[in-house]
Amino acid sequence: MAVETYSLKTDGDKYLTAHFRVREFRCKDGSDEILISTELVDMLEKLRSKLDCSININSGYRTKSHNKKIGGSTTSKHCKGLAADIICKRDGKIVPAKEVCTAAQDLNFDGIALISATATHVDMRGYRWWADETKNNKKVSDFYAYWGIPYPEPTATVKKGDKGTPVRWVQNRLNKAGFKLSVDGSFGGATDRAIRSFQKREGLAVDGKVGGATRKALKKHA
Ligand SMILES: [Zn+2]
């Protein structure tokens, strides 16, 4: 994990990646020094591409004094250059922050928080912290389940060892088919046993892999 130090005056117009410039991460108090995590910018590029949107950074780097002035947390990841508060726009319209949170979850951002209906906090702090700031920073383990948003159907084969939203889709469907799995997004032994049992029951090839045929069978359990 690398956090680089830039100067607004000399580096402001420099592109960090294809779509993000140094100045977009500047502290709103006008300070010349800007700290930016390279990992964060790479993740923002991925988010931009996934949502097919533009991303406005409302708040990127914050100096300690500016953070204090605006009432930020004393442990704010913004002060370390690891965080960004963003508003995403597609075709001139704001992408709802709930959609941004679930997309950020798919990409496995370390920190994700709903700030409002339109604004989202994301960061790369080195460990998971998902929360709802509109509800006193209530911890969230899965934004889809939290808001009752359906998991998107996987587009590739899901198998043992996989992690993330495609696994949650499989676990959720298996539960609808009568299994009792924890929808934790981690394809371990229990999920493997359940999928093999499901495949056997459905007369499918028993390989523990969720490809097109198994997905189709799982979809019958809505
Ligand atoms: Zn923030």
Domain ranges (residues) in the chain: 3-147, 165-219
Q: What integer pLDDT is reported at residue 139 of this predicted model? A: 98
CA proximity to 101, closest of 57, 145, 158, 61? 145
Taking CA atoms, 99 is separated from 3, 57, 117, 118, 125, in Å, by 28, 17, 10, 10, 21
| Residue range 187-212: mean pLDDT, rounded | 98
Q: Give residue 22's pLDDT band: very low, low, confident or very high (50, 70, 90).
A: very high
Q: What percent of the chain has pLDDT over 70?
A: 99
Ligand 1 centroid–CA 81 distance in Å is: 11
Distance, CA 101 to ligand 1 centroid (Å)?
A: 13
Mean pLDDT (whole number) for 201-216: 97
Q: What is the 165 CA–ligand 1 centroid distance (Å)? A: 24
Yes or no: domain 165-219 corresponds to CATH 3.30.210.10: no
Q: Is the pLDDT of residue 115 over 80?
A: yes
Domain 3-147 has CATH 3.30.1380.10: yes
Distance 59 CA to ligand 1 centre (A): 7
Query: What distance in angstroms lies between residue 121's CA and the mean position of ligand 1's atoms?
Result: 4
CB 122 within 8 A of CB 86: yes
The pLDDT tens digits of the residues spanning 72-99 come to 999 999 999 999 999 999 999 999 999 9
List the shell of residues around ion ligand 1, using CB closer than 5 Å: 83, 85, 121
Same fold flag, 3-147 and 165-219: no
- Cα–Cα nearest to 27, from 73, 75, 85, 74: 85
Q: Is the pLDDT of residue 45 over 80?
A: yes
Report CA(195)–ligand 1 centroid distance (Å).
39
Q: What is the mean pLDDT of the chain?
A: 97
Distance between Cα 122 and ligand 1 center (Å): 7
**What are the pLDDT digits (tens) for 117-161?**
999 999 999 999 999 999 999 999 999 999 999 999 999 999 999
Ligand 1 midpoint to CA 164 (Å)? 24
Q: What is the pLDDT of residue 221?
A: 79
Band of pLDDT at residue 196, cut at 50, 70 and 90: very high
| pLDDT for res 1 | 67
Mean pLDDT of 202-220: 97
d(CA 135, ligand 1 centre) in Å: 15
Please give the model's pTM, rounded to 2 decimal places. 0.94
| CA 161 to ligand 1 centroid distance, Å | 32
